[in-house]
Amino acid sequence: MAVTYDTDMIRTINMFESVTGVEAIHAIVEDEEAYFIVPEGKAGMAIGKGGETVKKLQRNMDKNVKIYEYSDNIGKFLNNLVPTNIRGVNIEGQDGDGPITVEINVPSENKGRVVGRDGKKIESIRHILKRTHNVDEVTVN
């Protein structure tokens, strides 16, 4: 799936890369948060020692910044995105036989951490998975 960025997003990505020294594979900026997807093994470098680099980004952007490591494997990538332990992930449609759907199975006590306040966390996960892996639907059970 080709992604087109406007001038502001290109500036944001350039600033991220300049501050962190890490390539941003994808970036999503919302009202209060910015999400950056970096190559595998690079999240620690982007976050910086003691979180100093990400704190600098947050000050520069006046947003809560989240950095996630990319993986071609949807299940592995989802483990990077989800802020808690999950029981399992069911993925359908990866072989091109229809829309790609992802079902995240979490213990009931952790469901709120995946869904987030007013559903904001799961909406962010849906947006990121759509952008990175062309996933059509994400549900939490």
For 28, half-sphere exposure in the C-beta direction (CA atoms, 13 angstrom radius) is 17
Residues 68-127: pLDDT tens digits?
999 999 999 999 998 788 888 999 998 877 899 999 999 999 899 899 989 988 999 999
Percent residues over pLDDT 70 in the chain: 99
For 67, half-sphere exposure in the C-beta direction (CA atoms, 13 angstrom radius) is 24
Residue 2 has pLDDT above 70, yes or no: no
d(CA 131, CA 127): 6
Output the pTM of the full model: 0.87
What pLDDT was estimated at residue 37? 97
- Average pLDDT score over the chain: 92
- Region 16-27: mean pLDDT is 96
Q: Which of 43, 25, 8 is nearest to 131 (CA)?
A: 25
- Region 28-38: mean pLDDT is 92
What pLDDT was estimated at residue 3? 75
- Region 19-37: mean pLDDT is 93
Cα radius of gyration (the chain): 15
d(CA 60, CA 46): 15
